[in-house]
A and B are shown apart, each in its own frame.
Chain A
Amino acid sequence: MTVTRTVSQRRMTRKTRRLWLVLSCLACFAVATALVLNAFSSSIVFFMAPSQVLKTPPAPDRVIRLGGMVVAGSLRRTVQGQSPVNLFQVTDGQAAIEVRFEGILPDLFREGQSVVALGTWVPGKDFAASEVLAKHDETYMPREVAEALQRSGKWDPRFGKPPSAESWNTMTRNEAQASRANSGSPLP
């Protein structure tokens, strides 16, 4: 017993001791941070999905952020007095909430785009948005690819994100072949 202890003590040089001290401090700090972040995770999320909002309705005067995709065909624009009024539905695939926003929408706003709306909500009524932000997804795609994908009929931007980049090449190649075949054949 005592022999092993002296051996281990001899092996622990000053450097190794410092290394263990630094590592254990870091580990403790990491665990503490993880616990704090876990505890606050509901307030760290930037927005709530429509199904979450419907399941746990916020207090009527509480300002929340509602995030999701703009439902295809749901956007209606009118003008009330001087300011434009936009009505659209936001969905997360499970539930949809009608949003009403007075003002100018961001450039990227369109049906099928993800958006985040800031405002208040009362069950049975429209979500009264004071600010609407467009959310960009992780896809970076040249215009030609987007047009080719749409022409091929494999993707409609009004229904969400484009297919994964792996499939672009084969899809656009098929589309190119098809268009070549079409242009080759005499028009009816």
Chain B
Amino acid sequence: MTKATQQITAQRDVQGSFLHRFANPGRFLRLSRWLLPILSVSACVLLAVGLIWALYVAPADWQQGDAVRIMYIHVPMAILASSGYAALAVCGALSLVWKHPLADLAAVEIGPVGAVITALCLITGSLWGKPMWGTWWVWDARLTSVLVLFFLYLGHIALIQAFDDPQRGYRAAAVLALAGAIDLPIIKFSVTWWNTLHQPDSITLTHAPAMALSMLLPLAICMAGFTLGFAALVVGRVTSAILETRAQQMLTRRLRQGETA
């Protein structure tokens, strides 16, 4: 073996072992046994604190009045809708390129959670828009691109279950997830590239947030709580999906043994 090929195989092993460390469903189950309670409990605690702070303690806005409190749910939903789709795209890449089996399972479970979150983002935004803008809906770039994201989620859910052979469904859905990821920068920059009715981001990397600290703190806590809750939902769903397949395998094995006996 030459030195070069030795290096290449060593590299491949490192890459493979890193990516496939969590490909083992048994290892994932051991991980989720302690991760899931931590995620769920911390999400519940943070959401209880954050939502009470946001809905009762935080000050009303000088213009929007109490309608500003919709923001504490709308903004985390909007960020999680995009992040959830980014996670779906990462799962798609892991599935197409590295044939990672857990990535397919995760993609199946992220889809419905992300779709519900995107729907909540659209609904809360609409409820805010009616009293503030004077309309439930406009076809501006931000609102339209988020609606497209919602349909991408629905398409992903439908596609991943559309084939009798699950592997074909996984592959088609992974392609959709990767192609649809192009919508994420459009959502993010829609408010800066084009003029929209939707306001630009209040919190940016380059400028100080255009939000009072008394509103920013409860928003940050709600954001952390919803993010952990999202993670807990996905980990819990993947865990139960693995357990379901195992239970089915066990049942079929027992049935087969019964037939032969």
Complex Cα distance, B12 from A67, in Å, reads 57
| B76-84, B190-198, B240-248 - interface stretch | B190-198
Number of interface residues of A (CB under 8 A): 47
**Proximity bits, B188-219, A CB within 8 Å = 1, else 0:** 00000111110111100001111110110000
A107 and B210 form a contact (CB under 8 A):
no
B212 and A47 form a contact (CB under 8 A):
no
Complex Cα distance, B138 from A44, in Å, reads 12
A165 and B93 form a contact (CB under 8 A):
no
CB of A122 within 8 Å of the partner chain: no
A133 and B141 form a contact (CB under 8 A):
no
Number of interface residues of B (CB under 8 A): 46
A106 and B134 form a contact (CB under 8 A):
yes
Asked if A135 meets B133 with Cβ closer than 8 Å, knowing A18-B96, A30-B182, A47-B195, the reply is yes
B64 and A136 form a contact (CB under 8 A):
yes
A140 and B138 form a contact (CB under 8 A):
no
A108 and B195 form a contact (CB under 8 A):
no
Complex Cα distance, B5 from A141, in Å, reads 62
CB of B13 within 8 Å of the partner chain: no
**8 Å CB contact of A44 from B135, B178, B194:** B194
Asked if A138 meets B97 with Cβ closer than 8 Å, knowing A37-B186, A106-B133, the reply is no
B202 and A29 form a contact (CB under 8 A):
no
CB of A87 within 8 Å of the partner chain: no
A44: chain B residues at CB < 8 Å are 141, 193-194
Complex Cα distance, B130 from A107, in Å, reads 10
**8 Å CB contact of A45 from B63, B93, B135, B195:** B195
A132 and B210 form a contact (CB under 8 A):
no
Q: Which residue of A lies closest to B59 (CB)?
A: A142
A10: chain B residues at CB < 8 Å are 5, 8
B132 and A106 form a contact (CB under 8 A):
yes
Complex Cα distance, B4 from A19, in Å, reads 22
Shortest CB-to-CB span from A91 to chain B, Å, is 15
Shortest CB-to-CB span from A129 to chain B, Å, is 12
A62: chain B residues at CB < 8 Å are none
**Proximity bits, B157-196, A CB within 8 Å = 1, else 0:** 0000000000000000000001101100010000001111
Asked if A15 meets B97 with Cβ closer than 8 Å, knowing A33-B182, A146-B62, the reply is yes
CB of A55 within 8 Å of the partner chain: no
Complex Cα distance, B187 from A33, in Å, reads 13
A100-119 residues at the B interface, CB under 8 angstroms: 105-109, 116
Q: Which residue of A lies closest to B201 (CB)?
A: A138
Q: Which 5 A-B pairs have the closest CB atoms?
A: A106-B134, A146-B62, A142-B59, A46-B140, A140-B211
B residues in contact (CB < 8 Å) with A: 4-5, 8, 12, 59-64, 68, 71, 93, 96-98, 131-135, 138, 140-141, 178-179, 181-182, 186, 193-197, 199-202, 207-212, 214-215
Known: A22-B93, A147-B62. 5 other contacts (CB 8 A): A15-B98, A22-B97, A109-B134, A136-B132, A164-B207
